[in-house]
Structure 1
Amino acid sequence: MYKIKKIDTEEIKKNSSKLKLFLKEGYKIGFPNLEITKEVIDEKFTSLLTYSKDKNILVLGSFKDDKLVGYLWAFYRKITFKEVGHLNQIFIENSHRGQGLAQKMIFKMENFMIENNVEEIDLNATYSVKNAVRLYEMLEYKIERVVMIKKLRK
């Protein structure tokens, strides 16, 4: 049985090696052409740890038998005249995908945002990761802007 719960700074520290692995794997999937170094992951983890103390941050862990198998990192901030949420990263270990964990974590995140008077949530998805894009579309996330990239160096 899986358990999804909010994780605090101490639990983030306790699960640091697993979360760093999730960060690395998530960035490799999302940015397949970039070299994801240990320094980059350490910097991202430090950010996660630092920001986890803020009230506008939500870090959820998905656990099976008390072992972390996935996580979600989201936050909200004021943009112009409204509170906007951002799903920063979500990652589920391969062996635990297809169990509905991502959807359940997103629902928990949406409830957190509603409780904090957030008007909308945005996220960035790598278009080639079709399963993620389908999940977001199924959950009624709509494409509003498109990021276009031109490679200047090969």
Structure 2
Amino acid sequence: MTELKYQDLDLHNDQDVAEVAKIHCEAPGEWVPDHSYADDSVARAVENLRSSKHCSYVVLARRTDDRIVGMHWVQIEARSEAKFGNIFSLWVHPKYRQQGVATRLKELAEFWLRSNEVSEIRTNVYLENRRMMALNEKLGYKVVLVGMSKQLK
């Protein structure tokens, strides 16, 4: 396995912010065959990352040449005076999967959430993404809701 370094996203690094936003927008394409996105989707993701309205945290996995091979984006949300963490994105480059990268990214995000007095984390996973479902269950996540969709033609 290639040696990786893990670091927080620097919101002043325009190139990294743009890359994380693009990864976030592209990632569903692995699980949704007709997935597409527009440049304004990436721009909105950049805006969301930098917004002071959201308490966000992004941790990156990088190769020694600084190429991003994994990222995990979580936000703190509050409803009815309860705070919880919401996983916005988790992505690992296919060549780095099944090597503990996603687990490490999740551990770092969970540490950040705990340090911000968050006691619950929520996520959505595509049903076809069996590996992520298995990893989440291994890490203590429970299925609490199943979303369903129907395409109207």
Q: Could you say if the C-alpha distance between residues 18 and 134 of structure 1 is closer, same or farther in structure 2, counting changes exceeding 3 Å?
A: same
Q: Does 1:61 align with 2:60?
A: yes
Aligned length: 150
Q: Could you say if the C-alpha distance between residues 76 and 16 of structure 1 is closer, same or farther in structure 2, counting changes exceeding 3 Å?
A: closer
Note the residue ranges of structure 2 that are not aligned, 5 or more in a row. Answer: none
Q: Could you say if the C-alpha distance between residues 55 and 38 of structure 1 is closer, same or farther in structure 2, counting changes exceeding 3 Å?
A: closer
Counterpart of 2:12 in structure 1: which amino acid? E
Give the whole-Å Cα distance in 1 for the aligned partners of 2:81 and 2:20: 34
SS at match of 1:9: coil
Aligned to 1:3: 5
Q: Deviations over 1:84-120 (max 9, x none)?
A: 1001101111122222111001011111111111120
Aligned to 2:122: 122
Give the whole-Å Cα distance in 1 for the aligned partners of 2:26 and 2:20: 10
Q: CA deviation at 1:147?
A: 0.9
SS at match of 2:12: helix
Give the whole-Å Cα distance in 1 for the aligned partners of 2:27 and 2:41: 12
SS at match of 1:104: helix
Note the residue ranges of structure 1 that are not aligned, 5 or more in a row. Answer: none
RMSD: 2.0
Map 1:36-47 to 2 at 5 A.
Answer: 36-47=37-48
Aligned to 1:33: 34
State the identity %.
20
Cα pair 1:28 1:36 within 8 Å, conserved: no
Counterpart of 1:26 in structure 2: which amino acid? A
TM-score by length of structure 1 reads 0.86
Give the whole-Å Cα distance in 1 for the aligned partners of 2:15 and 2:39: 19
Cα pair 2:18 2:42 within 8 Å, conserved: no
Q: Deviations over 1:56-108 (max 9, x none)?
A: 21111111112221111101121113111001101111122222111001011
Give the whole-Å Cα distance in 1 for the aligned partners of 2:119 and 2:74: 14
